[in-house]
Amino acid sequence: MDPEIEATVSGDRPATARAAIGSTPAGAILEVAGLTRRFGGVIAVNDVSFGIVAGTVTGLIGPNGSGKSTLFRLISAEMPAHSGEVRLRGQPITRRSASEVNRLGLGRTFQLSRLYPAMTATENLVAVTRGEAKHALERAAASLDFVGLTAVADEFAANLSYGQQKLLEFARVLVNDPDVILLDEPFAGVNPVMEERMVAHIHALRDRGKTFLITDHEIRLIMALCSRLIVLDHGELLADGDPATVRADARVIDAYFGT
């Protein structure tokens, strides 16, 4: 086994799980190495390591409070880690600002909406578009078209349905054309029609080479979307591998599915 992979695995796990947990495939576009974040006495993210290959969709699951949102904040540099490193295309990004990391090609959505309710759908996108202003409207229009919201381009965000707001948030991540996209609970509260559209959009983008890391409790959708599942429990990486194997793992069932 690669000694670097061995080194990321803590000693008390069964030997059979070692090769898979925290694996960092060669040429990973996003790498997380030994990432740790505490809040007082709580270790929200505890020595987490893994790498993700470009053009893939990975699910990040785990019970409430297992550290998923904190891990997203650490990866996107919204919050400093106490130790460890994040690399994008091999380049360390851990000590950069969130906006620098975004500029380098990492975009994310949030568990709770960050739309501007009194701006139109188009304005919400233009407000975050980087680069030349003259292209911002075109890019906003292209993003709205991609998620099927062209008809409501001039509606205030506050007047959109919940599902449309979720799609608008997704369009807002896409407007700056990131290579790596983190989605924090994109399906929460979304109806089945919107769910299907989101799944189709994510797969279409993956087929164009985009890389996704997605957390959601809707395990049916995570299984349908992802080629790999990473499980967190109490801030630690509990399992990592193909979705069917991870889902059948007795420790994962105990920690997550069994409750």
Residues of the shown chain interacting with ligand ADP in the complex, contacts defined by CB under 6 A = 39, 42, 44, 62, 64-70
Of 140 and 229, CB closest to ligand ADP: 229
Of 105 and 235, CB closest to ligand ADP: 235
Identity of residue 160: L
Q: Residue 125's Cα: distance from chain center in Å?
A: 20
Of 69 and 129, CB closest to Mg ion: 69
**Nearest approach, Cβ of residue 78 and ligand ADP (Å):** 11
**Nearest approach, Cβ of residue 123 and ligand ADP (Å):** 30
120 binds, among Mg ion, ligand ADP, none (CB under 5 to 8 A by kind): none
Sheet holding 42-52, edge to edge: 42-52, 30-39, 83-88, 91-92
Of 113 and 176, CB closest to Mg ion: 113
Instruction: Name 31's bridge partners.
Output: 51, 87
243 binds, among Mg ion, ligand ADP, none (CB under 5 to 8 A by kind): none
Of 119 and 219, CB closest to Mg ion: 219
**Nearest approach, Cβ of residue 62 and ligand ADP (Å):** 6
Q: Using the rule CB under 5 A, is 69 a contact of Mg ion?
A: yes
CA angle 126, 132, 133 (to 5 degrees): 40
**Nearest approach, Cβ of residue 259 and Mg ion (Å):** 17
Nearest-10 crossing angle of helices 133-146, 162-174? 130
Read off φ and ψ for residue 54, nearest 5 degrees. Answer: -60, 145
For 239, the enclosing helix (H) or strand (E) is strand 236-241
**Nearest approach, Cβ of residue 70 and Mg ion (Å):** 8
Sheet holding 228-233, edge to edge: 106-108, 180-184, 211-215, 57-61, 228-233, 236-241
What residues line the site for Mg ion (CB under 5 A)?
68-69
